[in-house]
Amino acid sequence: MRSTVSDLFGKSPIKPLQQHMTAVIECSNELTNFVDAAIHDDWEKAEASYNTIRDLEHRADDMKRQFRLDLPSSLFLPVPRTDLLEMVTLQDKIANGARDIAGTMLGRQMQVPEAIREDFVNFVASSLHVAHQAHTAINELDELLESGFKGKEITIITEILDQLDSKEGLADDAERAIRRKLLAIEEEIPAIKAMFLYKIIDKIGDLSNRAQRVGSRMQLFMAR
Amino acid sequence: MDILSQYSMILLVLACVFGFFMAWGVGANDVANAMGTSVGSKAITVKQAILIAMVFEFLGAYLAGGEVTSTIRKGIIDPMIMADTPHYLVYGMLAALLSAGTWLAIASARGWPVSTTHSIVGAIVGFAAFGIGFDTVSWGKVGNIVMSWVVSPLLAGTISYMLFVSVQKLILQQDNPYERAKKYIPFYMFAVGFLISMVTFLKGLKHVFKDIGMSLSMGESMFYSAIVGGIVAVFGAYLLSRIKRDETREKNDRFYNVERVFAILMVFTACAMAFAHGSNDVANAVGPLAAIVNVISTGVVGAKSAMPSWILLLGGLGIVAGLATFGFKVMATIGKKITELTPSRGFAAELGAASTVVVASYFGLPISTTHTLVGAVLGVGLARGIGALNLNVIGGIFLSWLVTLPAGAIMAIAFFSLFKVIFGA
């Protein structure tokens, strides 16, 4: 049974976009468990945790692919199709980043020196906070659509994005702090190991940058 | 003349059966398109939709369906050309009913976006132009009708766009959308009540009032309509006051309670939609029937006799029968596919479509309710109101125009010739 009126309604991309972001966050949240296992040198547990991250990243990937398939150019959307496609790519990069961090650390069984351990855990946590804040912003998208992309909802999202920026600032502070401490002890560490520690710090910093980019994309949805 | 008196009974019965079948089809299938938006947005259940449709389709057909019926009956073709061969008009109208009904059955089975209105108009034009003579068709009037098919979705889209933008500005974009919704929605309810009673007073009650020798001027109609609108608004405000705000649900979804308020409004616009649909689409079934009954009962073409009300009654009953037998299932299926539409959008689309259709009924223009509703939904979409709309549907509609008109015409010519063979030329 088909009808002209029901055929007219396509599947709204907003909810799938939010679900993808939720999957991305589930994936990157596992990083907390992974890092906890890694700094305690429990590589068995770390590997199990990495496998979880890998599976969740796969799931997010599948959702991303389905999202693109469900967005044919014949759809008439309240936001530009290209912005939506761009957004899902940006979101997916957060999950890719989390997997990359865990993969590199597991592959080399990287030891985090005692002196920077606490900062390392804090840095990962503050980077994840940025991702959570981006998730909060994405969760407002349905309300943004409901209110017609204007008015009170814009104020609410602007506030969320302001917090996103300040949380990204905190992650930057944490990155600077850990770099300073690592610099102080780098002579005591074999050069290659130190090099890879810098590299992993880069990647964790990237994670928060990617999350912040999701937020700046949100602004494009509102500005029209 | 001999043919008519000889076969009058069987022709009359055939006309009633075909007319009823057509109305049944409208009820079984077409109404679901009109009401599906209300069911999909979960403002009303399928059962409630059927009940609303039964009452208001019937009222629309009976009170405001006269003008379009008269267009179908004697506006598209000039019956006077057939003054010497009144039985041709009977054959032709029978053929039109049968071919439109057949075409709709084929199209529904295949899932084509076909309009009842277009099939019947195509069929009548077809049998008249090619079965009788090219001049039989009032081409000017047909031109107007075709124009109205283009204009009606555009008009509905514009009205719905403006309605939805007003809702955004007055309610959704404000700090306190819930309080705002409760305050402003009665005004939209007033508009619904005013619109329907205005058309009823101006056009519909004509044949009811005539019997008791009463008539209303434009000013009086507006006055009484305003009173009815006021009563509707007060009743609606009472319903709104009974909604209890669910604060816990609102934490996750700021607009949860706002949409519940709009859902009440949508009950009213669903009534308007059913009324509008009844006022326009029932004519597709009863218009040809009225023409046949007129010829058979008077023996001549174009005798000035009022259309008996039992014909509109029969059409209304046919729709109700269609709803009761099949409409239930179709509406549930369609409603399940329209879940992306929330009441704040659905009401704007329905009210835009309903007012356009009712205005068309007022002018006696047979338009497609479904296509008008599609235009209205697109209007809401243009105001950035809907998550995703499938623009392929528009192409499908244009294609169905191109196919339906000739298909209805060709079948009507075939049936017309067949009747000539069976009952004699």
Shortest CB distance from A148 goes to which of B172, B370, B373? B172
Residues A44/A109, Cβ–Cβ less than 8 Å: no
Query: How far does the CA of residue A140 sit from the closest CA of chain B (Å)?
Result: 9
- Tokens 């990243």 identify what position? A57
Lowest model confidence (mean pLDDT) among A95-104, A114-123, B9-18, B112-121: B112-121
Rg of chain A (C-alpha set) = 20
For residue B110, what are the contacts with CB-CB under 8 A and spacing of at least 6? none
Separation of alpha carbons B331 and B38, rounded Å:
10
Separation of alpha carbons B206 and B200, rounded Å:
9
Closest CA to B217 of B229, B231, B205, B208: B205
Separation of alpha carbons A136 and A212, rounded Å:
12
Shortest CB distance from B393 goes to which of A7, A11, A12? A7
CA B86 to the chain's CA centroid: 30
Query: How far does the CA of residue A72 sit from the closest CA of chain B (Å)?
Result: 9
| pLDDT tens-digit profile, chain B (425 residues) | 567 778 888 889 999 999 998 888 888 888 888 888 999 999 999 999 999 998 999 889 888 888 898 899 888 998 888 888 888 889 999 999 999 988 888 887 777 778 889 999 999 999 999 888 888 899 999 999 999 999 999 999 999 999 999 999 999 999 999 999 999 999 999 999 999 999 888 876 666 666 566 667 788 889 999 999 999 999 999 999 999 898 888 888 889 999 999 999 999 999 999 999 999 998 898 899 988 988 888 877 766 666 777 888 888 888 888 888 888 888 888 888 888 899 999 999 999 999 999 999 999 999 999 999 999 999 999 999 999 999 998 988 888 888 888 999 999 999 999 999 988 77
- CB atoms A3 and B32 under 8 Å: yes
Query: How far does the CA of residue A3 sit from the closest CA of chain B (Å)?
Result: 7
Residues A9/B388, Cβ–Cβ less than 8 Å: yes
pLDDT for B211 equals 59
Separation of alpha carbons B232 and B225, rounded Å:
10
ipTM for the complex?
Answer: 0.87
Tokens standing for residue B424: 């004699």
Separation of alpha carbons A167 and A144, rounded Å:
22
- Note whether A136 contacts B: Cβ–Cβ < 8 A: no
CA nearest B344 in A: which residue? A146
Tokens standing for residue B370: 């479904």
Tokens standing for residue B55: 């009452």
- Note whether A139 contacts B: Cβ–Cβ < 8 A: no
DSSP count for chain B of H helices, then E strands: 17, 1
Helix, strand or coil, per DSSP, at residue A75: strand
Residues A39/A167, Cβ–Cβ less than 8 Å: no
* Per-chain mean pLDDT for chain A: 94
CA nearest A156 in B: which residue? B175
Separation of alpha carbons A141 and B271, rounded Å:
32
pLDDT for B322 equals 87
Separation of alpha carbons B209 and B201, rounded Å:
9
Q: Taking each helix axis as running N to C, give the angle between helix B86-110 and helix B256-298, from 0 to 180 degrees, rounded to the nearest 10.
A: 150
Closest CA to B323 of B361, B362, B274, B290: B274
Query: How far does the CA of residue A30 sit from the closest CA of chain B (Å)?
Result: 25
Shortest CB distance from A148 goes to which of B37, B337, B383? B383
pLDDT for A158 equals 94
Tokens standing for residue B406: 């000739």
- CB atoms A145 and B387 under 8 Å: yes
DSSP B168: I
Helices marked H in chain A — which ranges?
4-8, 14-39, 43-69, 81-108, 114-139, 141-146, 152-185, 191-222
Chain B hits for A147, Cβ within 8 Å: 168, 172-173, 177, 255
pLDDT for B204 equals 67
Chain B hits for A150, Cβ within 8 Å: 168, 173
Number of A to B CB contacts under 8 A, please give it: 134
Q: How confident is the model at residue A211 (pLDDT cuts 50, 70, 90)?
A: very high
Q: Taking each helix axis as running N to C, give the angle between helix B343-362 and helix B66-74, from 0 to 180 degrees, rounded to the nearest 10.
A: 50
Chain A hits for B385, Cβ within 8 Å: 78, 145, 148
Separation of alpha carbons A156 and A153, rounded Å:
5
Query: DSSP characters for B314-329?
Result: HHHHHHHHHIIIIIHH
- Note whether A19 contacts B: Cβ–Cβ < 8 A: no
For residue B170, what are the contacts with CB-CB under 8 A and spacing of at least 6? B180, B184
- CB atoms A3 and B33 under 8 Å: yes
Residues A204/A127, Cβ–Cβ less than 8 Å: yes
Closest CA to B197 of B272, B266, B264: B272
CA nearest A155 in B: which residue? B175
Shortest CB distance from A12 goes to which of B172, B371, B387? B387
Query: How far does the CA of residue B194 sit from the closest CA of chain A (Å)?
Result: 27
- Note whether A81 contacts B: Cβ–Cβ < 8 A: no
Separation of alpha carbons B423 and B425, rounded Å:
7
Query: How far does the CA of residue A149 sit from the closest CA of chain B (Å)?
Result: 8
CA nearest B327 in A: which residue? A1
CA nearest B376 in A: which residue? A5
Residue type, A185: I
Would you give the end-to-end CA distance of chain B in angstroms? 11
CA nearest A221 in B: which residue? B384
Query: DSSP characters for B139-158?
Result: HHHHHHHHHHHHHHHHHHHH
Shortest CB distance from A147 goes to which of B173, B334, B389? B173
Chain B hits for A11, Cβ within 8 Å: 340, 387-388
Residues B272/B195, Cβ–Cβ less than 8 Å: yes
